[in-house]
Amino acid sequence: MSTHIVWFRRDLRLADNPALYAALEEADAVLPVYIHAPEQEADWPPGAASRWWLHHSLNALHAALEQRGSGLIVRAGDPLTVLQELIAASGATAVHWGRCYEAAAIARDRSVKAALREAGISVRSHASNLMAEPWTLATGNGDPYRVYSPFARRFHAFVQPSEPLPAPARVPLPEAATRMALGSAAIDALELLPRIRWDEGLAEAWSPGEAGAQARLQHFVHSGAGRYDTGREAPGTDGTSRLSPHLHFGELSPRQAWAASEAVKDQSTQSGVEHFQRELIWREFAYHLIYHYPHTVDTPLNPRFADFPWRSPSDYAEDLRAFQRGQTGIPIVDAGMRQLWHTGWMHNRVRMIVGSFLTKNLLIPWQEGARWFWDTLVDADLASNTLGWQWAAGSGADAAPYFRIFNPILQSQKFDADGAYVREWVPEIAALPNKPLHAPWEASASVLREAGIRLGEHYPEPRVDLKASRQRALDAYEKVKG
């Protein structure tokens, strides 16, 4: 009786899982394994919000496997050592996994693959989490892309996402699995949940796991995809897909998201669906970049920005703390940072606003924002996080020119005109009329008094003058623009 191991990593699902599909095709029994080894993530071990999500996602995967006569083997430790132990215990002759694309993961996988093959074990990696492998698309000169638009055109010309694979009806376990640690007790032993329970907001907002991913996908394609081109810009409405954490953990594959959106595309929904699919291609672009330019996780892609005159940590420490806590005195910025802390997620339009505010108005290095997002986002994804923050700072691929500095007041007035988003997350100023809500420091004394608000007591004064800080950023840019 032949046994193959499937090493689950960033593909915590049963449907459209090429590694699992191949193992089931080739072997009589399959040993599903998850190995927790955060120390092998180099400088980017999972943050607190990611660990919360991972705990629940692993439990969901184990439950789905149980329904198919199987279960998830959960171990912690060095992946090669754990795999060697499981091979010895189960008699497995092959190991399958879905590819990861970060530099540390690539180095680990190459080492594991070489050692297992030397021992006579078959090893196969599979394309599970992207529609186009990073090395398959290149410019006419054979170089990696650094600008999204030509990358997207190349994707459309050469990539035809195939139909997603169905979930298996059964996943037969080898007899040896009965002697191994399966399921929830082993997952609890990883101690992924916070000891001080700050995660109630996350539990209210999300349903981790493959079933939750499919429910969210179906809700989006049938109620939001058709108007995604317009609805996605308003943070006070449910106009985005909110699929990013499901995609990051691989509870949903990009092929599944693409196919589901394609299925509802008609004349009335075409524009919205195509905008959503462009976001899926943007995710592919992020992985293309991190694969070809791995140093950009903490170093600017544009080398000129290596000498950018950021403020010093001792100078910006208090501003950074106020930013992280949603106490900058700029309502749209504070709303976004509070949404992030409470739900582990932030609307994409607001991510751009807070990114511009941190790097340009506060003149704080983008790496500080990237680190905070990494710890607090349930969809903390190294490729997307890096691309987003370097875009905001003007130092990365496809970056907005540095002189394009978002005015948070105008952004708030345009995209949250009725103030629904700001009122939800900054309730201490909710009584203000719409116009002064976006910039309460500009409100008259009588308006503030009528609303029962004293700035500096009920809500902070702005940390910076927006006009003066904008000019400071432009002056700093002059020193590196070349």
Domain shared by 103 and 66, yes or no: yes
Domain shared by 242 and 383, yes or no: no
**CATH code assigned at 115:** 3.40.50.620
**Total domain count, the chain:** 3
Owner of token pair 């184990």: 62
Give a yes or no: residue 368 inside a domain.
yes
Give a yes or no: residue 433 inside a domain.
yes
Give a yes or no: residue 193 inside a domain.
no
Give a yes or no: residue 170 inside a domain.
no
Domain shared by 336 and 426, yes or no: yes
Q: Which of 104, 129, 154 is the last residue of a domain?
A: 129
Q: Which of 238, 258, 292 is the last residue of a domain?
A: 292
Give a yes or no: residue 375 inside a domain.
yes
198 included as an active-site residue: no
pLDDT at 479: 87
**CATH code assigned at 370:** 1.10.579.10
Whether the predicted model's global pTM rises above the 0.85 cut: yes
Domain shared by 280 and 377, yes or no: no
Domain shared by 253 and 381, yes or no: no
Domain shared by 267 and 147, yes or no: yes
On the 0-12 / 13-18 / 19+ scale of CB atoms within 10 A, 171 is buried
Give a yes or no: residue 199 inside a domain.
no
- Domain range for 87 is 1-129
CA end-to-end span of the chain: 66
Please choose, from the candidates 38, 253, 251, the residue with its C-alpha nearest in 3D space to the C-alpha of residue 165: 253
Q: Which distant-in-sequence residues (6+ apart) come within 8 Å of 363 by Cβ?
A: 310, 311, 316, 469, 472, 473, 476
- State the SS3 of the chain: CCEEEEEECCCCCCCCCHHHHHHHHHCCEEEEEEEECHHHHCCCCCCHHHHHHHHHHHHHHHHHHHCCCCCCEEEECCHHHHHHHHHHHHCCCEEEEECCCCHHHHHHHHHHHHHHHHCCCEEEEECCCCCCCCCCCCCCCCCCCCCHHHHHHHHHHHCCCCCCCCCCCCCCCCHHHHHCCECHHHHHCCCCCCCCCCCHHHHHHCCCCHHHHHHHHHHHHHHCHHHHHHHCCCCCCCCCCCCHHHHHCCCCCHHHHHHHHHHCCCCCCHHHHHHHHHHHHHHHHHHHHHHHCHHHHCCCCCHHHHHCCCCCHHHHHHHHHHHHHCCCCCHHHHHHHHHHHHHCCCCHHHHHHHHHHHHHHCCCCHHHHHHHHHHHCCCCCHHHHHHHHHHHHCCCCCCCCCCCCCCHHHHHHHHCCCCHHHHHHCHHHCCCCHHHHCCHHHCCHHHHHHHCCCECCCECCCCCCHHHHHHHHHHHHHCCCC
Give a yes or no: residue 358 inside a domain.
yes
Give a yes or no: residue 185 inside a domain.
no
Among 53, 341, 366, 391, the one annotated catalytic: 366
Domain shared by 137 and 122, yes or no: no
Among 282, 407, 424, 441, the one annotated catalytic: 282
pLDDT at 41: 63
Domain shared by 80 and 99, yes or no: yes
Domain shared by 276 and 362, yes or no: no
Q: Measured between alpha carbons, how far is 159 from 135 in angstroms, rounded to an integer?
A: 13
Domain shared by 372 and 263, yes or no: no
- State the SS3 of 33-70: EEEECHHHHCCCCCCHHHHHHHHHHHHHHHHHHHCCCC
**CATH code assigned at 155:** 1.25.40.80
pLDDT at 399: 59
348 included as an active-site residue: yes
pLDDT at 241: 95
Among 66, 133, 348, 424, the one annotated catalytic: 348
Domain shared by 307 and 450, yes or no: yes
pLDDT at 38: 81
pLDDT at 176: 76
279 included as an active-site residue: yes
Among 310, 341, 345, 374, the one annotated catalytic: 310
Owner of token pair 């904008």: 470
Q: Measured between alpha carbons, how far is 434 from 440 in angstroms, rounded to an integer?
A: 10
Among 7, 44, 53, 389, the one annotated catalytic: 389
Give me Rg for the CA atoms of the chain. 24
Q: Which of 81, 103, 129 is the last residue of a domain?
A: 129
389 included as an active-site residue: yes
Mind listing the pLDDT tens digit of every residue in the chain (482 residues)? Answer: 899 999 999 999 999 999 999 999 999 999 999 999 987 666 788 899 999 999 999 999 999 999 999 999 999 999 999 999 999 999 999 999 999 999 999 999 999 999 999 999 999 999 999 999 999 999 999 999 999 999 999 999 999 999 999 999 999 999 877 667 677 789 999 999 988 778 889 999 999 999 999 999 999 999 988 999 888 999 999 899 999 999 999 999 999 999 999 999 998 899 999 999 999 999 999 999 999 999 999 999 999 899 999 999 999 999 999 999 999 999 999 999 999 999 999 999 999 999 999 999 999 999 999 999 999 999 999 999 999 999 999 998 865 666 679 999 999 999 999 999 999 999 999 999 999 999 999 999 999 999 999 999 999 999 999 999 999 999 999 888 76
Q: Measured between alpha carbons, how far is 405 from 474 in angstroms, rounded to an integer?
A: 9
Q: β-pairing, 94-98 with 122-126?
A: parallel
Encode 155-164: b = buried (16+ Cβ within 10 Å), e = exposed: beeebebeeb
Domain shared by 121 and 21, yes or no: yes
Among 41, 279, 424, 428, the one annotated catalytic: 279
